[in-house]
Amino acid sequence: MLPDKKTEQPSAEMLTSIFHNTLHEIGTPLNAVVSASRLLKNEIERGDTEFAHELLEMIVSSSNYLFDIFERVRQVTRQEKLSKFELDEAIFDFRKWINNLLYSLTSLFLEKEITIEKKVADDFPRTIFSDKTYLTQIVYNILMNALKYSPATTTVSVNCFIEEGRCCIAVTDQGIGISALEIPNIFKEYHQVAKDFKSKFGGMGLGLSIAKNLVELMDGHIYVESEVSIGSTFTVSVPLKKFDLTFL
């Protein structure tokens, strides 16, 4: 679990939580860097300079995210920052952000021959006021969960829209799905959705638990709709009041 934003005093438990969560968070962008680097080596040997350039962009994007995580942890673990767990909100271009995020994961999805589709509603704000690092972590974790539980040659869709005064990001996969009985448990640390999948997929790990805690820290919600053997949709919902309504 992430430390409560209202925590008054630093503790060994808080530092341990930060440490374990950080180890988990660096895994995805690090895997993306390694995967893209391997593909880059192959493309250079083949002489495909155009795709090699795209792979370099993926590596740069994932490396920047790794640096963001490093900076956040460095700030939080400084003595004067441990008294409270705060958001670091700023205005940024939403479409540019989501494009870069998905682009940085392309190499991982290519390895499994999974297609990523993206749709941003026409009325979605051009710029938003939010914590970009946390929002990135949230969507990263949901996408990696989709990648882990989706068969090869399927599609993962990312849909960004406004609903009932909230800005929403929905990730839909064609994976193994989750039963209605299991849904209340999937945001628990290291929860396994079903014993039958243990040998093939392993546990849920920390990803969804971290995502839920970060969403709640941002005064938002995360919920899931799923059907066994069909797939799942994870939706992150953040209050519209946190966004700067500058439209295209």
Convert the chain into a string of H (helix), E (strand) and C (coil): CCCCCCCCCCCHHHHHHHHHHHHHHHHHHHHHHHHHHHHHHHHHHHCCHHHHHHHHHHHHHHHHHHHHHHHHHHHHHCHHHCCCCCCCCEEEEHHHHHHHHHHHCHHHHHHCCCEEEEEECCCCCCEEEECHHHHHHHHHHHHHHHHHHCCCCCEEEEEEEEECCEEEEEEECCCCCCCCCCHHHCCCCCCCCCHHHHHHHCCCCCHHHHHHHHHHHCCCEEEEEEECCCEEEEEEEEEHHHCCCECC
CB contact burial 61-75 (16+ within 10 A = b; e otherwise): bbbebbebbeebbee
Tokens 């942890």 found at: 73
Q: How far apart are the first and last CA of the chain?
A: 38
Q: Does residue 37 lie in a domain region?
A: yes
**pLDDT for the residue 20:** 60
Residues 147, 218 share a domain: yes
Q: Both tokens of residue 247?
A: 């439209």
Q: Does residue 86 lie in a domain region?
A: no
Question: Which domain CATH number covers 195?
Answer: 3.30.565.10
Q: Both tokens of residue 124?
A: 């979605």
Beta pairing partners, 92: 128
Residues 224, 132 share a domain: yes
Range of the domain at 37: 12-81
**pLDDT for the residue 77:** 54
Domain boundary among 55, 81, 107: 81
Domain boundary among 51, 81, 111: 81
Residues 156, 225 share a domain: yes
Q: Does residue 5 lie in a domain region?
A: no
The sign one gets for the Cα dihedral 7, 134, 18, 60 is: negative
**pLDDT for the residue 225:** 96
Whether the CB-CB separation of 178 and 201 falls below 8 Å is answered with no
Give this prediction's pTM: 0.69
Q: Does residue 197 lie in a domain region?
A: yes
Max Cα-Cα span within the chain:
57
Mean pLDDT by 10 residues, the chain (248 residues): 46 57 65 75 76 75 70 54 65 92 85 94 92 88 90 97 91 94 80 46 60 90 95 91 47
Residues 108, 185 share a domain: yes
Q: Does residue 3 lie in a domain region?
A: no
Domain boundary among 47, 81, 115: 81
Tokens 């994976």 found at: 175
Tokens 């053997």 found at: 229
Residues 77, 95 share a domain: no
Closest CA to 139 of 56, 52, 25: 25
